[in-house]
Structure 1
Amino acid sequence: MPNVIVNRVAEFLKRYPPFSFLSNEELEKIATSVEINYLEKGETLFEQGDPPSPHFFILKEGEIHLSENQTTGEEIKEYLDEGDVFGVLALLGKRPYVLNAKISQNSLIYAIPVQVFEEILQSNTRVALYFAAGFASGQVVVRQDLSQGQKARGILKSKSRDNSLLIFSDQSEIRYSEKVLTCNESKTVQEAAQLMVDADVSSIIIVDQAYKPKGIITDKDLRTKVIACALPGNTPVAKVMTSPVITSKKDSGFSDLYLTMIKNRLHHLVLTEDGSDQSAICGIISDHDVLLSMGNSPAVLIHGLLNTLDVKEMRSIRDRAGQMLAYYLENEVSMDFVASVMTEINDLIIQQALKIAENTWAAHYPEVSSARYCFLALGSEGREEQLLRTDQDNALVYEDVDESLKPVAAEYFLKLGTSVVETLLACGFESCPGEIMASNPKWVQPVSNWENYFSNWILTPTQNALLSASIFFDFRHIGGSSGLAEELSLFIYESVKKKPIFLNFLAQNTLATPPPLGFFKNFVVEKSGEHRDQFDIKARAIRPLVDLGRLLTLSHGVIGVNNTFKRFERLAELEPSYKELFGQAAKAFEILIRMRAIEGMKNGNDGRFIHPESLGKLQRQLLKNTFVPIAELQDIVKVRFQLDHFGK
């Protein structure tokens, strides 16, 4: 493959986990071995029940539907989009495909050889963790970075506690079976299979007289080593068993057991007294046991959402996600991971709500139901930072249709948007006080109208226009066609490039927030109203950092980075002279959204207003420390955009 193509492949891959975790050398090795496949609409990549390919896949461009065979026909389970990694069962378990992969739009697919990737999976714990949730729940698509990125732990972290793998450990104890089906080496495969049938289990351990494990036979072994090879039933078990047996100590931590299974792609892990195969068996844990042990874990909740369109059940799962969030906050799990998990759960609720809406309304509007549309998350959800069920901000864009169909399209897509908003309300999300929701006709528009909106905001930056820009510039595609969102993003950045003075107005607006501390270094609190004597952590601390991150990335022409953490990480790369300051800003933002989430969970609200006297001395000081990078960045903005002279 020519170097120029390898470089393009590597540039694309490094935008998405798990490839973003790789070194340049590892990435180049993967990119060199990638097979590039172009498939046209209507073709099939793989079918349910097919043996696994020696590759797993990442969608470069286009759209693929994953469907499941039903007695009444195929049922679509997943809509794949750019950057989605799928077919991972070939990597994790070498099982047959559980879904069909049908090309719904002409698609470019990168096929990653499993053999090349296996060495990385063994040596790179971060990559193994990334695939862990998919391994436990049997998913074939992984979208989010579910790894540990930033190591900051925020408020009052106990340095004596190792939280590096708490992401998978919210249960009081690991569930495993102490009753292990065993036999000795004198048994035949026919006898072993009958024992498995009688016990209704999928594995049997071959042991010696001291009950030490010598090998293991699973259902898969019987299929691939006995039936497929036409071996007779009187074949000794020793001929087909997998040996030596990978073992662990029964009182090992959940994360250690889980990672052992991930790295060795095991569906069963044998537990022994001392953790070696030289001591007696005392239990066995299966991937199903792992799933049950995870309780309110990301894998379980995501799996539940993927398999329901019942709004009450969706509400229940989101309630459980709140319990998981409380656990993560209590145990000070890193906020980039927490935000990533909560975003994935919120996104899935919206995606399932869209399916409900389409099922309800599409048949009533056949003329326009096939038109492309994109559901957009705005605000904190658009930035992948919504931890609590605060008020929803969303919108809907659809492709321009023929003049005669415009009224019908407007009616149909408004009903879709309204249905989604109602589902979110039923799931506990609040209504937006400013009516910035997909139930408001103003924010359900064809792409040409959206371009007019953004063009007017940029060309005529009034106070209201700047407020709208600050909300809508953070949009993120959740469901429907990502191409419409990309088209809109490119339009915005081209428009800003044509009128760079808009950034000066935006910078001026960024500094409009009053300072969080008064003359005597006390918190500036509300003077009247419902929240009198309370500190507004959103308006005075979180929003300034969000606005600064947005402004500075816009000024660099960075496209597709909405998350405030990631914006500051990107800025540190673009401006190495300010690397430390941007790092401090990212950590400050983490502390602030953690503190807000903790306050919200404690008080049963959105956590926006805090009584300063309720904070401990260390918490008060930590909060004040977050204001330092805000002030420094505001000073930089003031000079960079010449705000002392601007507008005079």
Structure 2
Amino acid sequence: MKNTIAERITDFIKLFPPFDHLPHHDLYQLAEEISVVYLDKDESLYNQGKPPKEHFYMVNQGAIRVYRHDGENSIEVEMCDEGDVLGLRPLIVQENYTLNAKAYEETIVYAIPIKIFNDKFENNNKVSKYLITRFASNSVAKFSQADNEKIFADYKRTTQTDYFSSKISLLMNSAIHCDQEATIKQAATIMSENKISSIFVINKERPIGIITNKDLLHKVATGTFGIDQNVKEIMSSPVVCASPNVSIAEGQIIMLKNKIGNVCVTKDGTPQSTLSGILTQQDIVASLSNNPAVLMKQINRARTISRLRELRQQLNQLLQRYINQHFSFTHTLTVVAELNETITEKTVEISLKELGKTPPVKFSFFSMGSQARKEQLVPTDQDNGMIFEDVPDDRLEETRSFFTGFAKIINKNLHAIGYEYCPAEMMASNPTWCLSKREWESQFKDWIFNPNEKNILLSAIFFDFNYVFGDRQLVKDMSTIVHENTKNNPRFFMFMSKDALKSPSPLGFFRQFLVDQDGVHKDQFNIKQRALMPLIDAARILTLQHDLQGINNTAERYYKLRELEPQNAEIYEACAYAFKALLKYKTKNGLMTLGEDDGKFIKLEHLSKSEKVKLRRCFKPIKSIQEVITLRFQPIL
């Protein structure tokens, strides 16, 4: 007689990797050995530092928060929900748990015995490939069958350097260095003898700078500096550092953000402590086959817009692979955002060469909206602007004309790469958004001190901006202007909160989804407008109120608010989780409809009952955060 529970488990796990292409008979035999675990809210599944259990887990219903303790801080790694696998790596490499897992809400998980799993699937090629790609591979192009056989040949060895959990101390090498009193000739001799491309400069065993082959080429070989001068004359400082205890993934993020090829490893992760070693992109590539560093390198080397278009398409493939393989969405979001930003930066650089003229004054090209918040995964339309140094009134229009002409080339090239023109012309090529520093200050003050409906709408768009290319200080000055003029400005916050509340709960009275009533998207659910934007708008207002500068990402804003307002910590954490879950769903939908829209319109008939339940669960924090906004700012609705 059939075991109905095993049948139900089989029907569920066969929908998700690594079980989605395996024979039903084998899955049923495994399902007979699987235990069902019920967890109350905040109940632990496993704990950091503890020996691994005999099972790994798959979430059936609910959500599991995965995080780690770093001193007194709790750092969230991922929120796992339906179909996500967790707790497998410690069983494979036979080490203690490096992370904590706790139920975010009432949750059901399947406990899968590792011994039975190994007995049945250890030699299964498809399972081995999944495990490798899930925890290690970051390839940027599809592999041929021959490539696959090479890359995944040594399953046991490769998983020893797990991308997300292994520490960079596992890969780092000894750092070659010289004393701060050394000459450039002495440093170059050490580099030559050791056949290395960079050398650290130290003072009492602490790194104070770094010299690379590029420094020798551009600063010494050109005659700018003599070989007998002190190394401090040409070194780059301060040094970008990391602790030996951060993961390989975190080490790579540090390199991507700083656009460098190596990171200095010190005892406590700061330049004020002892030099321990060096981690390079090559170390990571060698240990993990392929990863985003390869794509980043190709982007930085690109010389044409057509090449950048090819690389942007490869980035889409990378994103698709990460989503399909259930990579940490937090990590996916960070990696794709950094690569996407570098493509935009490179586009501006190529456009400036295409222009063939030297800008008359300092300028900065900046992004707005989802790209500025580092939330743009599937390409959307362009939102950008230009700020240039103040000039005398008689030169203002001439200078603006130069930069709008430059911006037209940038916008044209971004369009060629795959970023559509903004229908509302919120682009730097529009003279309205190509302004001097003084004009931007006047514009921001007008929006802030005259908060009518149009000005508030523009504030919501333009207050999320991020530097891309040019003089970074100009963009920093813009941010200062915004924060100085919104501080202690209750009237502005009252109007802004009214705008943020214009989209109520996405559910109607009978808990049905509120859909578009007419137009080409009739009867479809707009996940961006009805679910994501209320969370984005609320986070922006609260961030401004707390005068938090330099934090644009919506989830990161909520995590910071959680620290600042412990009394509302549960609400802010729920908002961060809901936002990432909704953005992940929009991204998956956008990848399926690539070329039609960016995934914001969802056809409800394509959703399963389980998917609808998950979406409704993400809507709950919207009501809570809107209640916080209403009570705090008292908008006149």
State if a TM-score over 0.5 links the two structures.
yes
Equivalent residue of 1:395, what SS?
strand
Letter in 2 for 1:418: K
Pick aligned residue for 1:330 from 324, 330, 344: 324
Distance 1:598 1:67, change over 3 A: farther
Q: Normalized against structure 1, the TM-score is what?
A: 0.60
- Match of residue 471 from structure 1: 461
Specify which of 286, 291, 295 is matched with residue 290 of structure 1: 286
- Tell me what 2:251 maps to: 131
Residue in structure 2 matched with residue 250 of structure 1 by the alignment: none
Q: Which residue pairs with 2:435 in the alignment?
A: 445
Query: Among 286, 292, 301, which residue is 1:307 paired with?
Result: 301
- Could you tell me how far 1:24 is from its partner in structure 2? 7.6
Q: Is the 8 A contact 1:137 1:299 kept in 2?
A: no
Helix, strand or coil for the counterpart of 1:343? Answer: helix
Cα displacement (A) at 1:101: 9.4
Letter in structure 2 aligned against 1:379 = G
> Aligned ranges for residues 446-461 of structure 1 at < 5 Å?
446-461=436-451
Displacement of 1:412 = 1.8
Cα 1:627–1:66 shift into 2, 3 Å:
farther
Q: Which residue of 2 aligns with 1:632?
A: 624
Q: Rate the CA distance shift 1:138–1:345 in 2: closer, same or farther, 3 A.
A: closer
Structure 2 residue aligned with 1:527: 517
Is 1:555–2:548 an aligned residue pair? Answer: no
C-alpha deviation, 1:504, in angstroms: 0.6
Contact 1:67 1:101 in 2 (8 A): no
Aligned with 2:377 (options 359, 364, 387): 387
Q: Does structure 2 retain, via aligned residues, the 8 Å contact 1:585–1:630?
A: yes
- Letter of the structure 1 residue corresponding to residue 251 of structure 2: F
The 1:599/1:338 distance shift into structure 2, 3 A limit, reads same
Shift of 1:57: 6.4
Quick one: distance in 2 between partners of 1:267 and 1:555? 40
SS at match of 1:461: coil
1:220-259 equivalence runs, <5 A: none
Name the structure 1 match of 2:609: 617
In structure 2, the CA distance between the partners of 1:65 and 1:336, relative to structure 1 (3 Å rule), is farther
Go from structure 1 to structure 2 and tell me whether the alpha carbon gap of 1:550 and 1:265 turns closer, same or farther (over 3 Å shift): closer
User: Aligned runs of 1:317-396 on 2, under 5 Å?
Assistant: 317-361=311-355, 363=357, 366=358, 369=359, 371-396=361-386
CA displacement at 1:500 relative to structure 2:
2.6
Tell me the equivalent position of 1:483. 473
Change (3 A) 1:530 1:361: same
- The AA in structure 1 aligned to 2:388 is Y
Instruction: State whether structure 2 residue 598 is matched by structure 1 residue 606.
Output: yes
Q: Contact 1:553 / 1:571 at 8 angstroms: preserved in 2?
A: yes
Distance 1:425 1:455, change over 3 A: same
Deviation at 1:422, TM superposition (A): 1.3
Cα 1:629/1:266, change in 2 over 3 Å: closer
Tell me if structure 2 keeps the 8 A contact 1:525–1:535.
yes
Cα-to-partner distance string for 1:535-578 (whole Å, 9 max, x where unaligned): 00000000000001001111112112111011100110110011
Could you tell me which residue of structure 2 aligns to residue 177 of structure 1? none
Which residue in 2 is equivalent to 1:197?
Answer: none
Residues 387 and 434 of structure 2 are in contact (CA less than 8 Å); yes or no, is this contact kept in structure 1? yes
Where does residue 53 of structure 1 map in the other structure?
Answer: 201
The whole-number CA distance in structure 2 between the counterparts of 1:575 and 1:458 is 25
1:301-348: CA deviation from partner (whole Å, max 9, x where unpaired): 101001112111111111011001011111222222112111111111
Match of 2:403 among 410, 413, 430: 413
**Residue of structure 2 in register with 1:253 after alignment:** none
CA–CA distance in 2 between the matches of 1:482 and 1:524?
42
* Corresponding residue for residue 462 of structure 1: 452
Deviations 1:96-134 (A, max 9, x none): xxxx9969xxx9x4357x8xx7xx41xx142x4333478
1:110 pairs with 229, 238, 244, which one? 238
Aligned equivalent of 1:170: none
Instruction: Give the SS at the match of 1:53.
Output: strand
Instruction: Summarize the Cα distance change of 1:50–1:325 in structure 2 as closer, same or farther, 3 Å threshold.
Output: closer
Aligned counterparts of 1:58 and 1:611: Cα–Cα separation in 2: 55
Distance 1:575 1:137 in 2: 29
Within 2, Cα distance between the matches of 1:629 and 1:439?
A: 38
> Whole-Å Cα distance in 2 between the matches of residues 380 and 424 of structure 1?
16
Query: Identity, % of aligned pairs?
Result: 30
The 8 Å contact of residues 201 and 208 in structure 2, kept in 1 or not, is answered as no
Q: Is this contact kept in 2: 1:377–1:477, CA < 8 A?
A: yes
Change (3 A) 1:558 1:464: same
Q: Which residue of 1 is the match for residue 565 of structure 2?
A: 575
Please tell me the root mean square deviation across aligned C-alpha atoms, in Å.
3.8
Distance 1:426 1:590 in 2: 29
Distance 2:292 2:564 in 1: 33
Q: Give the TM-score, by structure 2 length.
A: 0.61
Whether contact under 8 Å (1:133, 1:299) holds in the other structure is no
**Counterparts of 1:311 and 1:140 in 2: how far apart (Å)?**
23
CA distance in 1, matches of 2:198, 2:320: 42
| Alpha-carbon distance, 1:140 to partner | 3.0
* SS in structure 1 at match of 2:201: coil
* CA–CA separation in structure 1 for the residues paired with 2:507 and 2:441: 39
Q: Given the superposition, is the C-alpha separation of residues 462 and 624 from structure 1 closer, same or farther in structure 2, using an over 3 Å criterion? A: same
